[in-house]
C-alpha cells in the first residue's frame, strides 16, 4: 500500500515535472544540466592543429580533418582570433582529450548547434528575467559582518550598473523578491539587442556561471576582472569559509573552474564583437 501511494503521488506530479524539464532545457546546453559522461576520455588522435579560411569564415583543422560539432556540423566561426583560440584548446590536450577543459570549444559548439532552437529574443528574455534572482541584489542583515561586507563590495557595482544603463535597481533584504520594474527590464533589453546572437549566447553562459546578470555585464564592460567577479559571486561562501575554515582542494578547484569558464565567456563575447573581414588590395593599387 505504501509503495502504491508513492507511485500514485509521482504520477500526479508528472505534469509539474514535465513543466520543470521544459524550463530547464533552456540552459541545459550551456553547462547547467549537462549529462555527465563517466566513460574514459578519448585518446588524442591528431598531431597538429590549425585553422582554414573558407570565404568569410574560419574552420579548425585537426591534421587533415575538419573539426565538427557534436551534431555533425562543420565547425565555423566568423572571428579568426576565436578560431585560433579554439585550435589552441585542442592543441593543449595531452594524451587524452578532456572536453570539460575546452570552454571556448563548448561555447562555440552550443551556439552553432543551438539544439533548443533558441532565438535572439529567447536568450535576451532569459537574461533579463534573471535579474529577479540576481545574486548581488539579495543581501541579508542577519549577520552584521556579512551584511557589511555585501554592502561594501556589492553596492558600488549595483550603483555603477544603474548609472551606466539608466536603471533603478535596488537590493532587497530578508530574502524579499527585488522589485524589478518593467521600465528597467525594457532598458536592459534595448541594451542587449545591440549584441549579436553569439555574444548573447556567451552572456547567458556567463550569467549561469556567476548567477548574476550584473556581475557578468560588469566583466564584459571591463569594470571588474573575472577573478574579482567570481569572488564577488561567492562572497557569502568566502565569508563562511573564513569563519569555519577552508577545504583548499575543494574550494580552490571550484573557484578556478568558475574563473576559467568566465574568462572563456569574456573572450567569446569579445571575439564575436570584433569585425575580422579582410579586404585584399587590388593589383593596380
- Residue 40's Cα: distance from chain center in Å? 26
Nearest-5° Cα angle at 19, 18 to 20: 90
Query: Rounded distance, CA 257 to CA 202, Å?
Result: 16
pLDDT band, very low/low/confident/very high, at 192 (cuts 50, 70, 90): very high
**Residue 161 CB partners (closer than 8 Å, separation 6+):** 167, 169, 214, 217, 218
Pair 137, 178: CB distance under 8 Å: yes
pLDDT band, very low/low/confident/very high, at 72 (cuts 50, 70, 90): very high
Is the C-alpha dihedral spanning 226, 228, 232, 234 positive or negative?
positive
pLDDT band, very low/low/confident/very high, at 40 (cuts 50, 70, 90): confident
Mean pLDDT of 122-133: 96
Mean pLDDT of 149-155: 95
Per-residue model confidence (pLDDT) at position 140: 82
Mean pLDDT of 22-31: 44
pLDDT band, very low/low/confident/very high, at 39 (cuts 50, 70, 90): low
Query: Rounded distance, CA 137 to CA 233, Å?
Result: 11
Q: What is the mean pLDDT of the chain?
A: 83
Query: Rounded distance, CA 186 to CA 261, Å?
Result: 28
Q: Report the phi/psi class of residue 175: left, alpha or beta, with left for phi > 0 and alpha for psi in -120 to 50.
A: left
Q: Which three cell numbers stand for residue 221?
A: 564592460
Among 105, 133, 103, 114, smallest CA distance to 26 is for 114
Which pLDDT tens digit goes with each residue over 99-109? Answer: 989 999 999 99
CA dihedral (97, 100, 103, 106) in degrees, to 10, reads: 80
Return the DSSP state at 43.
Answer: B
Which pLDDT tens digit goes with each residue over 168-186? Answer: 999 988 666 667 999 999 9
The strand ranges marked E within the chain are: 49-54, 57-62, 65-66, 76-77, 138-139, 172-173
Which pLDDT tens digit goes with each residue over 210-223? Answer: 999 999 999 999 99
Per-residue model confidence (pLDDT) at position 237: 83
Pair 274, 196: CB distance under 8 Å: no
Paired sense of beta strands 138-139 and 172-173, if any: parallel
Q: Which three cell numbers stand for residue 112?
A: 552553432
Q: Which three cell numbers stand for residue 268?
A: 567569446
Q: Looking at beta carbons, which pairs linking 170-173 to residues 24 or more positions away fall under 8 Å?
A: 170/137, 171/136, 171/137, 171/138, 171/139, 172/137, 172/138, 172/139, 173/139, 173/140, 173/141
Amino acid at each position: 500500500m505504501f509503495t502504491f501511494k508513492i507511485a500514485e503521488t509521482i504520477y500526479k506530479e508528472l505534469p509539474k515535472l514535465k513543466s520543470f524539464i521544459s524550463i530547464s532545457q533552456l540552459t541545459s546546453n550551456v553547462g547547467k544540466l549537462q549529462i555527465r559522461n563517466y566513460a574514459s576520455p578519448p585518446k588524442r588522435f591528431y598531431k597538429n592543429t590549425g585553422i582554414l579560411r573558407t570565404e568569410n569564415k574560419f574552420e579548425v583543422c585537426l591534421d587533415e580533418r575538419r573539426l565538427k560539432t557534436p551534431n555533425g556540423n562543420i565547425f565555423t566561426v566568423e572571428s579568426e582570433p576565436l578560431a585560433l583560440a579554439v585550435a589552441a584548446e585542442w592543441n593543449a590536450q595531452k594524451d587524452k582529450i578532456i572536453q570539460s577543459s575546452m570552454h571556448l570549444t563548448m561555447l562555440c559548439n552550443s551556439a552553432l548547434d543551438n539544439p533548443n532552437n533558441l532565438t535572439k529574443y529567447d536568450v535576451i528574455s532569459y537574461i533579463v528575467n534573471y535579474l529577479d534572482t540576481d545574486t548581488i541584489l539579495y543581501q541579508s542583515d542577519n549577520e552584521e559582518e556579512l551584511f557589511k561586507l555585501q554592502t561594501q563590495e556589492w553596492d558600488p557595482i549595483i550603483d555603477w550598473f544603474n548609472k551606466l544603463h539608466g536603471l533603478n535597481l535596488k537590493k532587497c533584504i530578508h530574502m524579499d523578491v527585488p522589485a524589478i520594474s518593467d521600465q528597467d527590464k525594457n532598458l536592459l533589453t534595448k541594451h542587449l539587442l545591440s549584441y549579436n546572437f553569439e555574444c548573447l549566447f556567451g552572456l547567458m553562459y556567463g550569467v549561469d556561471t556567476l548567477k548574476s546578470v550584473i556581475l557578468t555585464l560588469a566583466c564584459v564592460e571591463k569594470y571588474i576582472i573575472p577573478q574579482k567577479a567570481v569572488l564577488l559571486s561567492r562572497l557569502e561562501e568566502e565569508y563562511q569559509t573564513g569563519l569555519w575554515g577552508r577545504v583548499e582542494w575543494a574550494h580552490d578547484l571550484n573557484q578556478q573552474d568558475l574563473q576559467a569558464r568566465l574568462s572563456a565567456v569574456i573572450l567569446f563575447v569579445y571575439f564575436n564583437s570584433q569585425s575580422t573581414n579582410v579586404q585584399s588590395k587590388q593589383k593596380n593599387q
